[in-house]
Homo-oligomer: A and B are copies of this chain.
Amino acid sequence: MNTSSKDGTVSKAEQAYQTVQSKIASGEYGPGYRLVLGRIAADLGCSAVPVREAIRRLEAEGLVRFERNVGATVTGIDPTEYLYTMQTLSLVEGYATALSAPLVTAEDLAKAKAINAEMRDCLEHFDPVRFTALNREFHSALFTNCPNPHILDLVHRGWNRLGALRSSTFSYVPGRAQDSVAEHERLLELIEAKADAGTIEAAARAHRIATLDAYLKHTPSTTS
């Protein structure tokens, strides 16, 4: 996954990639932010060439849009984009969760339960950011055992894209958080009961689609 040499060093191209990616994920580079090669290079203390490579990779991942002779900008997540991303994520995450389910250990399950419990606590003095972080951890625990690395990669990419949104759906749609916790509960039951793959996939997919629907319902016609 990385480009590390035998010693601990990493290439500047890799550094640039990681830096920019994390800044996009953290929201420091918000949608539409203009990624000026020279500036990033100066920040990193290197020349523009490695930065270009990093940007090229981010471009291929869809996180950045690149225009010839103009420059790179962080891909905006407009409502339509959000819909597409969530839909895709529902698909791959659902499947990843189902594939992962038979391989989930007791520890994983316990961890997921603990996280969900924490999420429930979190509901009272509601902190959307924390809740979202926990949500990601929860699902992470459920799909990390997915044996198909391609699908796992797609799931991570989906989450990354979503992470670029400053705050989460949960801050926009008040009621959704409660439902979400309840659905997690049921998902855990299914996995624990070793339900068949189709059932788990459907549940996991429906869970994410429900979040999307809640968002769509709550947001007035943002149909572009």
Contact = CB atoms under 8 A, between A and B. Distances in A.
Q: Interface extent on A, as a size class? A: 20 to 34
Contacts of A68: 3-5, 11, 14
Interface in A105-159: 148-151, 153-154
Number of copies of this protein chain within its complex: 2
12 contacts: A3-B68, A4-B68, A14-B68, A53-B56, A60-B60, A60-B61, A84-B150, A87-B148, A88-B148, A88-B150, A91-B92, A91-B151
Interface string A61-94: 1100011110000000000000011011001100
Contacts of A52: 49, 53
Contacts of A60: 56-61
A36 to B, nearest CB: 17
Nearest to A87: B148
A168 to B, nearest CB: 19
A3 B71 CA distance: 11
